[in-house]
Amino acid sequence: MAISWLSTSTAGRCIHSSANAHPLRLVVGHHGPLAARTSARRSISSSGQAPKSEARPRSRMLEGVLLGAGLTLALSYYAQSKSIRLDGANVGHGSDSVHAPPTKTTKHDQLPEPLESHKYASKQEIQQAIEELRKVLPEEGIVLTDPDILTTYGHSDNSYHPTSPHSVVVRPRSTEDVVHIVNIARKYRVPIVPYSGATSLEGHFSGYPTGDICIDMSGMDKILEIHEADGDVVVQAGVPWEELNRTLKDKGIPLFFPLDPGPGATIGGMIGTGCSGTNAVRYGTAKGEWFLNITAVLPNGKVIKTRRRARKSSAGFDLTKIFIGAEGTLGVVTEATLRLAPAVPTRVAMAQFPDVQHAVSAVQEILNSPNGPHLQCIELLDDKMMAAINNAGEVSRKLPISDTLFFKIQGSEDAIGTTAAAVRATTARHGSTRFEFAQTDEEAEELWESRKYALISTIGSEPGARCWTTDVCVPPSKLPQLVSETKKDLAENKLKSTIVGHVGDGNFHALILFKDDKELQLVSDAVHRLVRRAIRMDGTCTGEHGVGVGKKEYLVEELGADTVELMKTIKRAIDPLNIMNPSKLYPDTERSADGH
């Protein structure tokens, strides 16, 4: 499932060291270049050899209702799990049926302890699980235990979290393979960490401290069915979104999948983190209607499909949405049906401003105008980002160093022309000092280069520095204030940073550089203030990076204790043994004596 998650470090404010931790790694960001990382992982051969280099508390009555509901759900699950042999489990959709292999009820199939106090498999039990995995999945290159491989899969160049190796990496090729893995993990109570694109930033996919099974979904990368007439496609979870769009284009199909979280991201991970990207202004996010259904393997080994392929359904509540943003904590997504959009002619425009406030203030007027629907992207690059891009030498031509908005405008030739003229007039009223509109595809590509290379340019702007990338999102009308206060805060603390934002939907990213522990602490404090600032403005701690471990400390403040408890109630009901990506997403409460 491409769900790229996990880490052993806690809360996003600080970076913890460990016996296995490598020095802090360079953060490229979730839109950054991942070719080296992906190449290193995918270069692991079929023989399994890895490259060596590599709150708002509500009434007690509501609390009682929630807890009662949780107990009822958990007891219901318990009753089902006592017959967990699964010899009849299947998806139940005709030819799509997936039969799960039988398994015996174990001593672990019982009502669980509280979520944070689970105890997992011993080292000896993990070895027994590995041996059983080898028997069930005997093909060479499927079950991997080489130490270099385990370290590679427990590390990300794009995260500030320390390396934390896994106990074993398993590379399934089918939903049936995933069922085998989940059944063995449940039998021995071994945590499962889904993995694929490895593009996440918030500590989603490094190893669990007591040991775990890392499921690498990247081998499940088949495009199964294309329904051009219906405008949808069925894919396995390891399919990269870029590869999907290339395939559609190569086949001459005038459709595309519009979610674009960044290079290297795969469909399962996009589901897990509830992604979006630059196209969110026009097309929304993963939590819209882009995922029509998913196939998932639950912690009890059963395989479900959340709904059929119809464009809409009112048959019960939306089970698909439960898995979107769950970060692999409720099950392993193996397939999905994606809704596609028509490919529309697109041009690029750029407007520059004397300061960020003038730039951001123009955005809402543009979006709320009659021409707003023709805007596909509105991206902010601040003056420091433009300077970094010019200095990096990645672009074909340098642009003036100024706070800049980039626009993608789509539609017919007349619609594009009319919208471009309206955007030019609006930006002029807000103090724009320069406006440029690309007349051809070639000009559009050249102009968009500056946005394309924004993050990699920041990384190279300060030799020897590392980078912490974070994001928040607020109601668009609050964005000018948020950006202004954040830039002032960063300047007062003498932190080197750049800002890039999907400002059309109130989402922006701060990329903050640091060279030593002293600067790192300053960065950590600045990120903490940024998140709290956004929440005070009725915003969110994470616009599109997910929660992982890096931002789970903020969820109670953002959502309220009762809402978070409802999330935990659902988690306990579906995963009573807490083997699915434990320690992610859900805020910590109490910890047991052994630290779990």
CATH homologous superfamily of domain 346-546? FAD-linked oxidases, C-terminal domain (3.40.462.10)
Given a contact cutoff of 8 angstroms between Cβ atoms, the answer to whether 376 and 343 are in contact is no
The whole-number pLDDT of residue 315 equals: 93
3 state DSSP class of 460 = coil
The whole-number pLDDT of residue 75 equals: 40
- The two tokens of residue 45 are 């051969």
Beta bridge partners of 342: 255
- Write the single-letter amino acid at 93: H
Left, alpha or beta for 236 (phi > 0: left; psi -120 to 50: alpha)?
beta
- Fold type of domain 123-216: 3.30.43
End-to-end CA distance of the chain: 26
- Bridge-based pairing of strands 403-410 and 375-381 is antiparallel
Torsion 177-299-551-535 (CA) sign: positive
Separation between Cα atoms, residue 22 and residue 585, nearest integer Å: 24
Residue 21 contacts by C-beta under 8 Å, 6 or more apart in sequence? 162, 163, 164
Separation between Cα atoms, residue 545 and residue 199, nearest integer Å: 10
Residue 593 contacts by C-beta under 8 Å, 6 or more apart in sequence? none
The whole-number pLDDT of residue 49 equals: 52
Give, in order, the Cα–Cα distances in Å from 137 to each of 174, 179, 196, 300, 530: 11, 11, 19, 19, 47
The full set of domain ranges for the chain reads 123-216, 223-342, 346-546
**Model confidence pTM above 0.85:** no
Task: Report the C-alpha dihedral over residues 15, 18, 22, 27, rounded to 10 degrees.
Answer: -20
SS3 for 481-507 is HHHHHHHHHHHHCCCCEEEEEEHHHCE
The whole-number pLDDT of residue 114 equals: 47
- Write the single-letter amino acid at 188: Y
- Bridge-based pairing of strands 232-236 and 223-227 is antiparallel
CA angle 68, 76, 69 (to 5 degrees): 15
The whole-number pLDDT of residue 27 equals: 34
pLDDT per residue, tens digit, the chain (596 aa), is: 333 333 333 333 333 333 333 333 333 333 333 444 444 454 454 445 544 433 443 344 434 444 444 444 444 444 344 333 333 334 433 334 343 444 443 444 444 454 554 689 999 999 999 999 999 999 999 999 999 999 988 887 666 777 889 999 999 999 999 999 999 999 999 999 999 888 888 877 878 999 999 999 999 999 999 999 999 999 999 999 999 999 999 999 999 999 998 888 999 999 999 999 999 999 999 998 999 999 999 999 999 999 999 999 999 999 999 999 999 999 999 999 999 999 999 999 999 999 988 998 899 899 889 988 899 999 999 999 999 999 888 888 899 999 999 999 999 999 999 999 999 999 999 999 999 999 888 989 888 888 888 877 887 778 888 888 899 999 988 998 999 999 999 999 999 999 998 998 999 899 999 888 899 899 999 999 999 999 999 999 999 999 998 899 999 999 999 999 999 999 999 999 999 999 999 998 744 333 33
8-state DSSP, 2: -
Beta bridge partners of 303: 297
Separation between Cα atoms, residue 357 and residue 482, nearest integer Å: 10
Cβ atoms within 10 A of the Cβ of 245, count? 17
Given a contact cutoff of 8 angstroms between Cβ atoms, the answer to whether 283 and 260 are in contact is no
Nearest to 336 by CA among 266, 422, 397: 266
Separation between Cα atoms, residue 335 and residue 232, nearest integer Å: 13
Burial class (CB in 10 A: 0-12, 13-18, 19+), 492: exposed
Separation between Cα atoms, residue 500 and residue 84, nearest integer Å: 49
- The two tokens of residue 592 are 């047991």
Given a contact cutoff of 8 angstroms between Cβ atoms, the answer to whether 583 and 208 are in contact is yes
Residue 458 CA to its chain's centroid (Å): 21
CATH number of 223-342: 3.30.465.10
Q: Within 13 Å, how many C-alpha atoms sit on residue 278's CB side?
A: 20
Separation between Cα atoms, residue 575 and residue 443, nearest integer Å: 52
- Write the single-letter amino acid at 564: V
Nearest to 340 by CA among 247, 414, 441: 247
Q: Within 13 Å, how many C-alpha atoms sit on residue 256's CB side?
A: 15
Nearest to 305 by CA among 231, 234, 376: 234
Given a contact cutoff of 8 angstroms between Cβ atoms, the answer to whether 23 and 515 are in contact is no
Length of the chain: 596
The whole-number pLDDT of residue 494 equals: 94
